[in-house]
Amino acid sequence: MADEPLVLGIETSCDETGVGVVRGTTLLADAVASSVDEHARFGGVVPEVASRAHLEAMVPTVQRALDQAGVTAADLDGIAVTAGPGLAGALLVGVSAAKAYAYALGKPLYGVNHLASHICVSQLEHGRLPEPTMALLVSGGHSSLLLTEDITSDVRPLGATIDDAAGEAFDKVARVLGLGFPGGPVVDRMAREGDPEAIRFPRGLTGPRDPEYDFSFSGLKTAVARWVEQKRRAGEDVPVADVAASFQEAVTDVLTRKAVKACRANGVDHLMIGGGVAANSRLRAMAEERCERAGIRLRVPRPGLCTDNGAMVAALGAEMVRRGRDASALDLSADSSLPVTEVSVPDPHGAVHAHAHHSLGGGA
């Protein structure tokens, strides 16, 4: 274990400045500086506000992570950074910082995919990802079913949302209910006091002719809004907890149903759930139940590792080093729409070939 790669990861794709330090699959530090409070009054993340905050927080957060991990920068085997997808200006702050650290320290740079990082973080809690693993990625910007054979090189999308992401639906429903931003955590909390069967909200794309692994949450969000407005118009009290619980039930029902189905159809017996919505308590409980029944092993990271953080980026970076994947060049770009299939952004000229880490013992 001691000779597994030691990697620092930097994440700035949205409103969290995250810096993590990982040795192999062991989490050593997870430092996060969030600008979420500055965005709350705008009801959503303001890109320029996020970018300004990243610049201010970068060096202190890196230092905090190194201190937490009890390592010095010179000990690192590589620097990993989210190259995309995400907010362009925000990503650029992290990418520029990572390049400077890599250059100054003489370490390889790994520009990696934010979504693959959301999956790879699972290694910090439950050990190396089984191959293959099914991943249900549910966040503020994405809701996808991804089949991965090798998290450093092979992520195949089976389906994704055709409109709103699951986290977006939570945020919008929270706004309808006047619960503030971000909506996920507060809807989760309110739902605990409510009856999930109180209102039967629609389950999008679950008809026999619907695409099996795609999702749709926009109709659900509208149905919730309608239901709430009708109550208000009739001068009745809105049973906020019941609405939250029933909405949450509809989302988690569809997500877990399709995830289990995808596992079965592809003969995959490990399901990983990642992204901010994986912090949802009902999703975690329902997934556990349904996986148990289907004989599928479930891996869900602790809530703090589901939302954006630097440790997940470091986790993927460490796996890249271990498997001897190509590093990125110093002219690496931030790519706000990096496709989920591109796990990393290697040097197009292949000049900085990393050697397989010595702990790997052949293979890969």
Partner 1 sequence: MLLLAFDTATPAVTAALHDGTTVVAESTRIDARRHGELLLPAIDRVLRDAGAAKGDLTALAVGVGPGPYTGLRVGLVTAAALGHALGIPVHGVCTLDGLARAARAEGVTGPFAAVTDARRKEVYWAAYDEHGARVSGPDVDRPADIADRLAGAPAVGAGALLHAGVLTGARGPEHVSAGHLAAHAAERLAAGGDLLPPVPLYLRRPDAQVPAGYKAVLPA
Ligand X SMILES: Nc1ncnc2c1ncn2[C@@H]1O[C@H](COP(=O)(O)OP(=O)(O)OP(=O)(O)O)[C@@H](O)[C@H]1O
CA atoms within 13 A on the CB side of 162: 11
| Beta strands in 233-283, from DSSP E residues, in sequence order | 270-274
Choices 103-111, 212-220, 277-285, 315-323; region in contact with ligand X by CB under 6 A: 277-285
Residue selected from 24, 132, 185, 204 as contacting ligand X according to rule CB under 6 A:
185
Q: How far apart are CA 67 and CA 110, in angstroms?
A: 22
Choices 122-130, 139-147, 203-211, 341-349; region in contact with ligand X by CB under 6 A: 139-147
Task: Please calculate the CA angle 222-226-228 and round it to the nearest 5 degrees.
Answer: 115
Eight-state DSSP code of residue 216: -
330 binds partner 1 (CB under 8 A): yes
Buried-exposed string 212-243: b where 16+ CB fall within 10 A, e elsewhere: ebbbbbbbbbebbeebbeeeeeeeeebbbbbb
Nearest residue to 123 via CA among 22, 266, 211, 38: 22
Please, which residue, 126 or 175, has the CB nearer to partner 1? 175
Contact 47, 87 (CB under 8 A): yes
Query: By the criterion CB under 5 A, which residues form the site for Mg ion?
Result: 139, 308
Q: Which two tokens stand for residue 5?
A: 């790669």
Residue selected from 51, 256, 307, 344 as contacting ligand X according to rule CB under 6 A:
307
Least Cβ distance, residue 114 to Mg ion (angstroms)? 6
285 binds partner 1 (CB under 8 A): no
Q: Is the dihedral of CA 276, 287, 152, 66 positive or negative?
A: positive
Least Cβ distance, residue 364 to partner 1 (angstroms)? 29
Please, which residue, 41 or 293, has the CB nearer to partner 1? 41
Eight-state DSSP code of residue 164: -
Contact 111, 81 (CB under 8 A): yes
Choices 58-66, 148-156, 302-310, 356-364; region in contact with partner 1 by CB under 8 A: 58-66
Residue selected from 184, 196, 204, 317 as contacting ligand X according to rule CB under 6 A:
184
Residue selected from 7, 10, 12, 13 as contacting ligand X according to rule CB under 6 A:
13
43 binds partner 1 (CB under 8 A): yes
**Residues in touch with ligand X (CB under 6 A):** 13-14, 86, 114, 139-142, 167, 170-171, 182-185, 188, 275-277, 279-280, 307-308
**Residues in touch with partner 1 (CB under 8 A):** 41-44, 46, 48-49, 51-52, 54-55, 58-59, 62-63, 73, 88-89, 92-93, 95-101, 103-106, 175-176, 178, 222, 225-226, 229-230, 233, 330-334
